[in-house]
Structure 1
């Protein structure tokens, strides 16, 4: 698995959960500002990521996952992926 695989997987989840088109998905996508995700939406996304990538994301870490890229980097770090 690569960072690109992680990015693609998270992008697909975001497109499905928030009914967004692919052109709206960018690395700088901000969950709060760009897709107007409320706290419940965000918790659902985090739970989905935990299940899909088999990682635990503590609440204090989840609060820092503001953009798509920061989320990709976080998951990659948890999985020990550098490329």
Structure 2
């Protein structure tokens, strides 16, 4: 019984570590997309945001970070 509990705890720890790694990757991707948006013209930002939304809508889910993408796209002056 102790071995079973030990194995389950080890698997749980491994899954938690994998989850943290995935969360870090998503956060990094979010930062990359936001920086890309900041360096694009206003019209190109809007096109990219629309493409991202369409792609994610087709996948049937809309991640929370998309609000950050919108905010980044709107907070950069149109002159850029």
TM-score between the two structures when normalised by the length of structure 2: 0.33
TM-score between the two structures when normalised by the length of structure 1: 0.32
Which has the greater radius of gyration?
Answer: 2
More helix by share: 2
